[in-house]
Structure formats: C-alpha cells, structure tokens
Structure 1
Amino acid sequence: MNWEELKGEGDVAVKKVCDGLEKRGINVGKSIMSQFGTDEDIPVYDSLGNKLFWISVKSVPGNTTDPKKLPPGYKGWMCGEVESKQWIYPPTVIIWYCLKSNVAWGAITPKRPSTEWFIYPDRYGIIKDQRKSYLSGKTYYIYPSYCVPVERIISKDQVIEYIKQLSDL
C-alpha cells in the first residue's frame, strides 16, 4: 500500500456507507467541509434539502469480523481527533467500516463526548503513527481521539434504524 491508497481508504469507506444508506431511502449528500476546516463525511438531509445531521465514517484497517473484539492493544474504537472543531457540533452517528470484511458497526454520539467517552492517547501527539509515517515518508503522530467503549458499540442494523428515525423527523 502507498500513501495515496491509504488516503483513499477513507473515501472508499464513505462511498460504501453512503451507497448503502441511499439504497435504504435516506437522503444523503457528498462529504462537505465545515466552517472549521474539518470534513463532514455524510451529511443527511430532509426532503426539502435542509441538513439534519451528519455521520462520521471511519475506515478500519485489517480484517475485523466482530466489532465487540478489539484488536490487541486497543483501548476502544477511536473516533476522531479531540482538537478538531467538529466536536463542537458532533455528528449523530459514527460508523466504522472494515474494508476487508465488509463489516460495519457504529455508535451514537453523545452531545458532549468528553462526558461519556474517554480519550486516547493521554498526551497530545506523543505516539508515532507507524502506518502513516511509513507510507508517507513523513512523521505523523496519533493525536488524542475519543474512544468508544465496546459496550457502547451498536450493530449495523441498529445504526440504520437510528438514522432512519432521525431522518424521518
């Protein structure tokens, strides 16, 4: 895998999730940049074209077949940099998509993630991201991210049902 393929993983995951939601009649749009310079992976609109909420999609490397079983060393499924302004207006749902196994799962985002989810790693930019650094030839660090405890993970069907309920308002 090269650097461009790594960057493209996220785009592929977003497209697959977007296609699946469209097949189920949910009015989704293309990824947009927020006023803070962060991307909103899948905006969801009502029938008049008003944005209702957005969905954050995370691609998962490796081959995950059971989202209740974390890879060795994981404290929880990471879901976005803490310093990102996107968490001022959090998405309603986070969806993880494993490209190798085609398994998807999710979590419902609390209004204030810091009150319910914990942060990993503990200090800003202290852990080198081996994969990105190797593929890009530059040093990248894993920044603090919210981790969702395994007990907060919901199935793909539960995620879809929740999105349908919100988009039917």
Structure 2
Amino acid sequence: MNWEQFQTEGDRVVRGIREGLQKRNINAGEPIITPFQTDEDIPIYNKIGNKLFWISVKTVSGEIENPIAQMPSNYKGWMCGEVESKQWVNPPALIIWYCIQTSLAWGAIVPKRPSTKWIIFPDRYGVVIDKRKTILTGKTYYLYPSYCVPPNQIISKEEIIAYIKKRI
C-alpha cells in the first residue's frame, strides 16, 4: 500500500460511515475544509441545513475485536487528534474509530477541553516512529503529541448513534 492508497482507504471509511448515518435519517454531509485548513470528516446538519457539529473519523489497521481491551502496544488510549492541531479550536462532537479488518466501529464524545479529560501520548517531542506512515512513504515520520481517549471513555456504535439522534 502506498500513501495515495492509504488516503483512499480513509476516504472510503468516511464515506461508508456517512452513508450508514444517512440510512438512519441523520443529515450527514460531505467532508469540508475549514478556514484553519483542517478537515471535518462528517459535518452533521439539522433538517434545514444548519451545521450542528462534526464527527472525526479514524481508521485503524490491525484486527480489533474489543477496543476497550485491545490497543496498539504502548498506547494508553486510542489516538484521536494531534495536540497542536487547529481542529481543537473547533473540536468535533464525536470521534469514531473504524477497524477495516473487522468492520467494528467505536467512539468517544469529545469534552469541551480534551486536555482536562484525556491523556497525551507520546511525549512532547514525538519520539515514537509512526510505523504505518513511514512504511507507506519511505520516509521517517514520528507520532507527535496526540490526545488519547482512555478505555473508560470509549462508547459503542449504538451509543454513538443514540448520542447523534439526541443532538439533532
């Protein structure tokens, strides 16, 4: 797999989740680029077309069958976004992780201030190599500090859908 295939994989997952939400009568829109040059994977609109919130989607490689018990080695939680990212100026309402191999989805509700509730991994300077990106590009990339959602903050696919329906 190369970098373009990796990006296509992510786009396919976002599209699949968006279509699943639309089948449940949720007005899930196309991804957008914000004025901060970050992407909003799935904006959610009300019936008259006003954006209510957005959902961040993360693809997961490997074979995850239990996201509460299974995490990549050395992780303290599921990575959900870089600490320095401009997306935290306008955080998503939800994060959805999707395992490509098992078709399992899980998520978390984003707190108003992630830093007060979620942990930061890895250390401040990103000394852990991002193996997947490094392999795909042939150039060394590091994992920079990211908010990580601890297992006790993980919710099921059903809880995600119920939360969205309450907000629309």
Quickly name the TM-score band, shorter chain normalised: over 0.9
Partners of 2:9 and 2:74 in 1: CA distance: 22
Is contact 2:75-2:121 (8 Å) kept?
no
**C-alpha displacement at 1:154, in angstroms?**
0.4
What secondary structure is seen at the aligned counterpart in 2 of 1:20? Answer: helix
Match of residue 79 from structure 2: 78
1:121-147 CA deviation, whole Å, 9 max, x = no partner?
Answer: 112332221221121122211111100
In the superposition, relative to structure 1, how do residues 79 and 11 fare at CA in structure 2: closer, same or farther (>3 Å)? same
**C-alpha displacement at 1:16, in angstroms?**
1.3
Match of residue 107 from structure 2: 106
Match of residue 6 from structure 1: 6
Partners of 1:92 and 1:2 in 2: CA distance: 31
Partners of 1:61 and 1:12 in 2: CA distance: 14
Partners of 1:138 and 1:6 in 2: CA distance: 15
Structure 1 runs of 4+ with >4 Å offset? none
Partners of 2:127 and 2:74 in 1: CA distance: 16
How is 1:20-169 mapped onto 2 (pairs within 5 angstroms)? 20-69=20-69, 70-167=71-168
**C-alpha displacement at 1:74, in angstroms?**
1.8
**C-alpha displacement at 1:28, in angstroms?**
0.9
What secondary structure is seen at the aligned counterpart in 1 of 2:159? Answer: helix
What secondary structure is seen at the aligned counterpart in 2 of 1:79? Answer: strand
- Runs of 5+ consecutive residues of structure 1 not aligned to the other structure: none
- Of stretches 79-88 and 130-139 in structure 1, the one that deviates more from structure 2 is 130-139
RMSD: 1.0
Partners of 2:100 and 2:12 in 1: CA distance: 8
Match of residue 17 from structure 2: 17
- Runs of 5+ consecutive residues of structure 2 not aligned to the other structure: none
**C-alpha displacement at 1:71, in angstroms?**
3.1
**C-alpha displacement at 1:73, in angstroms?**
2.2
Task: Return the TM-score normalized by structure 1.
Answer: 0.95
Aligned residues with identical type, % of pairs: 60
**C-alpha displacement at 1:56, in angstroms?**
0.4
Task: Return the TM-score normalized by structure 2.
Answer: 0.95
Q: How many residues align?
A: 167
Partners of 2:49 and 2:140 in 1: CA distance: 41
